Structure 1
Amino acid sequence: MLTGFSDAQTTLSNRHRHLGTPHKFISRAPHFWRLFSTYLCRCDYNHEGRVIMSFGFSIGDFLTVFEHANKLRKRFVNAPAQFDALSEQVRNLSIVVHDEDLALTNAVLDNQLKADIRKIATSCGDVLVEIESTLERYDEIDTGHGVKKAWKRLRWDQEEVRELQDRVCYNINLLKGINGRITRDNVVELLEHQKDEQHQACLDWLSSTGYAEVQSEYVSQRQPGTGEWLLESSNFQDWVAKPGATLFCPGIPGAGKSILASVVIEELNTRYEFDSTVGIAYFFCSFQTHDDQSQKIETLLACFLRQLARSLPQIPESLKALFQKHKSRGSRPSLDEYFASLRSTMKLFSRTFIVIDALDECHFSTIARLLDMILELQGPGNLNLLATSRLIPEITARFKNKPTCEIRAAMPDVMEYLWGNLGKLPSFVSRDSQLQEDVVHKITDAADGMFLLARLMLESLQHKSSPRKMKQELSGLTSVASHYDIAYDTAYDKAMERIQGQVRDQRKLAEEALSWITCATRPLTALELRNALAVEIGESEFYEDNMPDLEDIISACAGLVTTVTRSSGDVIRLVHATAKEYFERKWTIWFPDAHSRIATTCVTYLSFDVFKDGICSNQTDFEARLHKYPLYAYASMNWGHHARSQPIEESLMIEFLSNRLKVDASVQVLFYLGGYFTHSGYNRNGPPGFTGLHLAAYFGLLSVVKSLLKKDPGLTSTKDSMGRVPLAWAAYKGHVKVIEVFMNDGLDANLKDGTGRTLISLAASMGHPDVVNCFLEQKVDPNIRDTDNRTPLSWAAYRGHLEIVKSLLENGADPEARDEYGRTPLLWASYEGWVEVVKLLRERDVDIETSDRLGRTALSWASENGHVVVVKLLLDKGARLDSKDEQGRTPLSWAIRNQQEAICSLLKAAEQSEDERSQSLDLDTKLDPGSNHAPLNFSASLGTNDHQVPAPKPTELNQTSADDGRCFQCPLCNRSSLTSNKHVLQRHVRDLHFPRFRLVCPESSCPRSFQRKDKFLIHMKDQHQRDIQGEEMNACQREEPLPEGCIICGKQVTSWEDFYTCIETHIQEPYLVQETP
């Protein structure tokens, strides 16, 4: 038997060498014959070594007949016409076989298709064998030369030839059909692939949180059989069975809450694996990310939304709209937008389960807001919530009157874990069954429901050298767990004692590793830590062979650290939140000079000779540098923070700061990864010309600043490429003592940088109240203005810094001050949604109806951007619903345009309570100028079931006279936009209401976009100091979605040209009005 395709290929090659026939057809159709060979592989050899096929024909003879038939067609011109037709059909067959080969390239075939191809291949073989047999009856061959000389003068059997032709044609048609099926399947597969790519792109944009990685990690840690008690409990069973139920699972630290949360998630995934109507989402809060952006409420909602959307065959429309709106702008959705999209997505499921682990490891303000939102989502009754937490009073109170299931490490689970891990103990334990029993039972009793404690106790026995010493250790465990904080402190103290008892090199390795893990400003990857531990102080280069192995680091740390896999690489961290709390309290005892050692290591790393050439000139080199030197990014961004926390050798810092090229190289990383470069190229202008004094002021290194000033007093007035002196960066970063040094040196506190920003405005925008007060004490004018006419109060209100807003107001800041755009602090606070700032300004009786240069009020901006609470505050203060901006839009128009459902409901309810304004508001809210006039997807929230926005009637429009007695009035807005020139009105409609293109700000950190070119150019010049022209301007254009139809008559359109033509027709005809005499 042939054993595979390689055997068949070898047989073919040997056969052709024996016959002397060419391989042309094999080379032309390898994929088709590869499939054909799968049929051959099921055949036997005869005694001559030839393949015996089901149709009694060898592959060699088959190919020979192929060649033979083609040669006969060329050589015998006088051959009977019947042979010409038959030869032509064989030629066609070879062509189709070649096409089939191309179609089969990289095609994925199902079993049925493979079987069909085998049948066709067999049929082709059969008919060619019969054709050869027929030909042999009709030709004469000269045996001396092996060449055909003449055709036998025999009468042809017409029926036989016709039958052969029909059979060849039949096989050709079958092959064409197969080819069509493969092509069709390939097209469908391509479309599905494109759809999947779009789906994945939307999900990746939404959230990058590695929730699945964390779940997999916890599942891998679970001992088989543990956690079943929770799944079998009546509390859990009731929670699963009852839609809209909540189950709160509190527990003491180390009780195994996270493992049990993963057990619940695994159970839900298994139970509803094939039920697409059930949505499941989860989130593991973590002490590791307590202070970064990954546990903001927006991040949590985005994570839930991603998980639910991922399980759907298509991206929900609400999410697709968010993606299209924000992706092109480089912006992120607001909290209300996330919430609205999550609520809309949940409606696509019959039930939704959300599991949140470790609420106590997240900011309480975030948890409180999140639970309020989940409670609102539970209103319809299809959302089930399960949450775990420590017994924190504030969190426990949020679940008052809700079913509770306390989590403790069940004795059987602890014992199961211990029995499963006895193999980690010295070998003498495996030979002593009684000692094994003692280990399991004594640790179980001492752990008292704390899984982590049991694990730490087991690890404390790993290095005992004799049974007696192990028994002595066990005897001291009995009274440890009377109170869990004491128990953990005792366990961690003993772990540190074990570390102290190691040989010098191991002890030093553990202490340095733990000091970095504890005191680093962010979690470190394993590679970053290994680099840090390899740095030799005083050396000018890095030696890779000095890096310790990760396994040795973990071993030296006596079970106190572990690694978790993330997309960015393995992250090394402390084993538990209780360990983090322990070292936060006791790091000054175990490694009191941690920050000093870390800072020294970082400065040494930054001073390596490899960085003496300065910045990288292109992104490839820049990324290669960060890849080759993994600690470089952390060192560049954090060395000064550690040096500010604990002093290090000043000469080391001065030497580094005096080397301009090395400073440039580190600042390039600082500015790029810190988000300071907003241009498309990370190094378009290079680092901003920092001197060593700039960098020292940036990090607030007081003694270094004094030393550098003493060395060269003239450095105080040195400006970087942003036009900032070192004092400006001290103000920007909030270092009061450094500011006082510069002020004592005679620097003017009213300085402005290259963009016109004042020092006090920098401090106000960055949220440094002490610095603001320092400048106010220096009699800096609280109403001092930047080049764009903004005051410090404007910046503080824009960024939501309540304490600074209060301080500025108390020192005489003007709450009604307008900037270049005509915006007041209230307008900026409403634009961004800062509730407390809006409250404070409202209490100061600022004018809530004030509008900016675009005619936009505070209510207008808050309505567009989805700030529900701000809208409520403004409505309570009496904000007008019918205020219109320069484009004739009301707050409700903006809410409709941005699909702000909750705000539409608020404004609609407020409108209904104001009968005296309802008539004037009705016309405006029926028509949403400038919003592309897409059908409303949330009409129910507006109290109507209409899905098509009705157009106003001609009689509803004001009829105002023109000089010639005739006027063309815009049918789309209710302001005085009448003209006697229809061409002017056409431009008005194109530019204001239905622009084909929108200009999007190219700065990644800026979400603004503009319909008008002049406003776009002003924005770029004033806000980003850029003059954009030509191709760069064209690159900023984004084509707006084509309206579904004419907004006036509803006629469908297929292009912008059709749309404009239809609108212009209405301008000239139905809305052409005659002046009333």
Structure 2
Amino acid sequence: MAVRDTLDANRQNEIAYHEELRVRTDDACQWIISDDKFSYWKLNSRDTNFCVLFGDMGCGKTMTTAYLVDVLKEQAPEKQYVCAYYCKDDQETTNLGNIYRSLIWQLLKREPALKDRFQIWYEENNSAGQVDATQSAIKLREFLHDTLSSSEKLAFIFLDGLDECHFTPRDELLSLFRELSEQNARVKIFISSRYDDEIQQSLPPSASRIDLCLTHERSLMIAKHLATKFKIQEDIRDRVADELSQRANGCAIWLRIAFEFLKTLHIQGLKLMETELKRLHSYKTLTNLYWALFEKMCAGQQHNEKCLKRALETLAVAQRPLSLDELVYTVFIDINDNTHITIDELEEYAQSLNLLELIRPFISTIKIDGGKQIQLRLVHQSLKELILQAPPSEWNQVAQRDGKTGAISREAELHSNLLRRCVKYLLLDECERIDLSSSFKTAHEDEHLRGFNGFFDDDEDTADSLEIFNPFKVGLGRFFTYAASYWAAHMSDTSQELWLDQATFIKLCTPGSQRLENWVVQWTRSNCSGSNAFKSLEVMSQVDPVVVAAALAPVAYMTGLLKLHNLNLVPDSLWFAVKQLIERNCISTIHDILRDEVLGVNLRSTPFIMDVVKVWSDFRVLHGVVANEWEDLFD
């Protein structure tokens, strides 16, 4: 496996997203350059290494951060590094390993002298254990810490949307940055976030705090930019921008959605536009606007409503941005219909629907692969939170409650729905009949660090020198990659009562089946699941339902499978499962198995103890609960 596959697997998406952020109104962002707190943070060498930009949802924090990144990159690049990372509320961008990999990759791109250091680190750490060093958050953190703490150049690190991260990665990142600051490393950290007391309290007292409020002047700048972007008739453009900027109430995303709504009306002429602007008086909140836009796009057609609802709900819980092809497939995978369907039929249905036109006002599109492909994500976090609270048919009632979102209650349900779509797809006949591995074309048998010196030279696609791997070309359709890579993540994110039934899980993981081999091979691709699961297994013959559950499913689900009788398992299944539990640091579960009268007898042996000690020795950093669980196990 090439290092490029693991270190910058998601970099293409990051570059595309930052390019999207360059389509902004710089005039509305320039205020921060002259802000006293920002200037003090930027110029003062020691007193304050942290600057945090707080603001309400939709007020322009991300655009302001992106503007600062571009400005600082243009200033004295030979004397400083500028690295940026944008968090979104999905598994891919908030994954701690992905954040570390991105920051390291950016440092290596900007400082060629670091390449040799990285190569030495990579080879030393890969020879020490079974887990690829670039897939271990602990090891990546060590390299990033050592690199930044010893750097003579000043490093500016911008982290946008920290509030989108879950508590663990958020705390780990802040811990790393505080540690660097306390060691007087030449690092400046800029964080943007919605108002969050825990983030504020986690920062040093000396941190500079800037509160972002969207003034009418900046709202007008943004409105004029959007009026041009959405091709509002030129002779009424200024009038529309002025009207909407006055009603935005400090919310940039409200302006965006208002213009999306006006665009659907195809208005020509001032009189009709004035009528519609008056109607917008009643849409005081984002929820009002989202509801009006949903009604407009559905146009009273039940088919449109079903497709748009399913697409929006899929995007709300997708673990990464989806391609248009992937999203269209999910629209036609009906989990409540047991009718037999083929991948060819799904493809035919997908070609019959112009989903992009239907969903366009609700999404942001990111162009990748030189513009040949687009990826989709919801236009804003506010839309995601609304979808997680209520189905579109109830948005009108939510709007009548002043748009207050309240508690998120549908997340487990929507994860369960997408889990079942993924699994239903993987259970299609083609996934058992077609051999995915037959599509491999490998230029070199051993790509380990091949071409390392040219590896970081540019962002051009090097697919010609890497494995050509396309499930669609061998007949597995356009949704196979996502379904294989993320079905287990959705199972972990849903509630226990919505887990897969055991019969379906066992069919998905039947030992020796082509289906099992296909999705596991896809899963282990470095730029897919981003997980270390199955890395310690040598051959597919070591995989069965219990091993899969130990690697990917909630631990309680695995213990439930162990209680089944007549389950078709591979030889030494329990030991292979224990290896997966060790890699997940589920040590207390191993302790429970050892104490079980029936299962424990299979593990209480000298070879088992020797293997456990060997695996344990590969973990160089143990602390907290995990360390205590290891002690209990050896006791």
TM-score, with length taken from structure 2: 0.72
Going from structure 1 to structure 2, the CA distance change for 1:548 and 1:251 (only over 3 Å counts) comes to farther
The one-letter code sitting in structure 2 at the alignment partner of 1:462 is K
1:459 aligns with 2:253: no
1:421-820 alignment runs, 5 A limit? 421-423=226-228, 430-431=234-235, 433=236, 436-464=237-265, 470-471=273-274, 473-475=276-278, 477=280, 487-533=285-331, 538-542=340-344, 544=347, 546-548=349-351, 552-557=354-359, 559-566=361-368, 569-587=373-391, 605-606=425-426, 613-616=433-436, 618-620=438-440, 623-627=469-473, 629-636=477-484, 664-675=513-524, 721-722=541-542, 733-734=553-554, 743=563, 754-755=571-572, 757=574, 761=578, 765=582, 779-780=597-598, 785=603, 789-790=607-608, 819-820=609-610
Q: Could you tell me which residue of structure 2 aligns to residue 380 of structure 1?
A: 184
Instruction: Report the equivalent of 1:252.
Output: 56
Q: Structure 1: which amino acid aligns with 2:108?
A: A
| SS of corresponding position for 1:421 | helix
| 1:310 equivalent in alignment to 2:94 | no
Could you say if the C-alpha distance between residues 549 and 403 of structure 1 is closer, same or farther in structure 2, counting changes exceeding 3 Å? farther
Distance 1:564 1:227, change over 3 A: same
- Matched residues in 2 for 1:338 and 1:657: separation? 39
Task: Tell whether the 8 Å contact from 1:249 to 1:387 is kept in structure 2 after alignment.
Answer: yes
Note if contact 1:830-1:838 (Cα within 8 Å) is conserved in structure 2.
Answer: no
Counterparts of 1:722 and 1:202 in 2: how far apart (Å)? 26
Contact 1:357 1:389 (8 Å CA) reproduced: yes
How far 1:262 moved relative to its partner?
0.9
Distance, in Å, in 1 between the alignment partners of 2:510 and 2:292 is 48
SS at match of 2:390: helix
Instruction: Check the 8 A contact 2:325/2:350 in 1, yes or no.
Output: no
What is the identity, as a one-letter code, of the residue corresponding to 1:360?
A: D
What residue is the counterpart of 1:214 in the other structure? 17
Alpha-carbon distance between aligned partners in 2 of 1:756 and 1:822, rounded to the nearest angstrom: 15
Q: Which of 835, 843, 846 is the matching residue for 2:624? A: 835
The aligned residue for residue 458 of structure 2 is none
Contact persistence 1:326–1:332 (CA under 8 A): yes
Is the CA contact 1:281–1:307 (under 8 Å) kept in the aligned structure 2? yes
Match 1:369 to one of 135, 147, 172: 172
User: Which amino acid in structure 2 is aligned with residue 670 of structure 1?
Assistant: W
Q: Whose radius of gyration is greater, 1 or 2? A: 1
User: What amino acid does structure 2 have at the position aligned with 1:499?
Assistant: M
Asked if 1:418 is matched to 2:223, the reply is yes
2:587·2:630 contact (CA, 8 Å) conserved in 1? no
Alignment of 1:908-947 (within 5 A): none
Q: Contact 2:323 / 2:373 at 8 angstroms: preserved in 1? A: yes
1:300 alignment counterpart? 99
Structure of greater relative contact order (alpha carbons < 8 Å, 6+ residues apart): 2
Supply the distance in 2 between the matched residues of 1:830 and 1:600 (Cα, whole angstroms). 35
Kept in 2: contact 1:203–1:310 (CA 8 A)? no
After TM superposition, give the deviation of residue 456 of structure 1 in Å. 1.1
Q: CA deviation at 1:574?
A: 0.7
3-state secondary structure, aligned to 1:461: helix
- Residue identity (%): 16
Distance 1:723 1:344 in 2: 39
Instruction: Measure the CA separation in 2 of the matches of 1:587 and 1:451.
Output: 24
SS at match of 1:757: helix
Instruction: For residue 618 of structure 1, report the CA deviation from its aligned partner.
Output: 2.9
Q: Indicate the residue corresponding to 1:243 in structure 2.
A: 45
Note the 1:170-181 alignment, pairs <5 A. none
1:359 to 162, 166, 175: 162
CA contact (8 A) 2:89 2:164 kept: yes
Give 1:780 shift: 4.4
What is the deviation of 1:385? 2.0
Per-residue CA distance 1:698-732 (angstroms, 9 max, x = gap): xxxxxxxxxxxxxxxxxxxxxxx4485x5676666
Mapping for residues 396-411 of structure 1, pairs under 5 Å: 396-399=200-203, 400-411=205-216
Give the Cα separation in 1 of the matches to 2:489 and 2:115: 44
1:176 alignment partner in structure 2 = none
- Partners of 2:257 and 2:361 within 8 A in 1: yes
Matches of 1:558 and 1:437 in 2, distance apart? 25
Question: Deviation at 1:227?
Answer: 0.9
1:321 aligned residue: 120
**Cα displacement (A) at 1:754:** 1.6
Contact 2:332 2:349 in 1 (8 A): yes
- Paired residue type of 1:404: R
CA spacing shift, 1:659–1:358, aligned 2, 3 Å: closer
Q: Which runs of 5+ in 2 are unaligned?
A: 396-409, 442-467, 525-532
SS in 2 for 1:409: coil
Structure 1 gaps of 5+ residues are: 1-200, 482-486, 689-720, 791-818, 848-1077
| 1:614 CA drift (Å) | 4.2
| CA-based RMSD | 4.8
Question: Residues 505 and 470 from structure 1, CA distance in 2 versus in 1: closer, same or farther, beyond 3 angstroms?
Answer: farther
Match of 2:29 among 208, 227, 231: 227
- 1:269 alignment partner in structure 2: 73
Aligned partner letter, 2:389: R
Q: 1:659 to 1:539 in 2, by over 3 A?
A: farther
Correspondence 1:128-143 to 2 at 5 A = none
Pairwise CA distance, 1:556: 1.3
Report if the CA contact (8 A) 1:554-1:561 is conserved. no
Q: What is the CA–CA distance in structure 2 between the aligned matches of 1:578 and 1:658, rounded to whole Å?
A: 36
Letter in 2 for 1:448: N
Judge conservation of contact 1:284–1:357 (CA < 8 Å) in 2: yes
What is the identity, as a one-letter code, of the residue corresponding to 1:305? Answer: I
5 Å-filtered alignment, 1:880-895, equals: none
What is the TM-score with the length of structure 1 in the denominator?
0.45
Q: 1:391 to 1:736 in 2, by over 3 A?
A: closer
For residues 537 and 259 of structure 2, what CA distance do their matches in structure 1 show? 54
Give the AA of the match of 1:324: E
Kept in 2, the 8 Å contact 1:252–1:390? The answer is yes
Q: Separation in 2 of the partners of 1:532 and 1:677?
A: 27
The alignment partner of 2:263 has SS state of coil
Measured after TM superposition, the shift of residue 367 of structure 1 is 2.5
- 2:342 and 2:518 map into 1 onto residues whose CA distance is 20
Q: Deviations over 1:851-877 (max 9, x none)?
A: xxxxxxxxxxxxxxxxxxxxxxxxxxx
TM-fit CA distance, 1:231: 1.7
- Please say if 1:823 is aligned against 2:613: yes
Shift of 1:451: 0.9
> Matches of 1:349 and 1:475 in 2, distance apart?
59
| 1:286 has 2:88 as partner | yes
Q: Tell me, in whole angstroms, the C-alpha distance in 2 between the residues paired with 1:241 and 1:348.
A: 18
SS at match of 2:74: helix
CA distance in 1, matches of 2:319, 2:186: 41
Shift of 1:393: 0.7
Q: 1:204 to 1:457 in 2, by over 3 A?
A: same
Amino acid in the other structure paired with 1:226: A
Question: Is residue 734–residue 770 contact of structure 1 (8 Å, CA) maintained in 2?
Answer: no
Q: Whole-Å Cα distance in 1 between the matches of residues 520 and 87 of structure 2?
A: 30
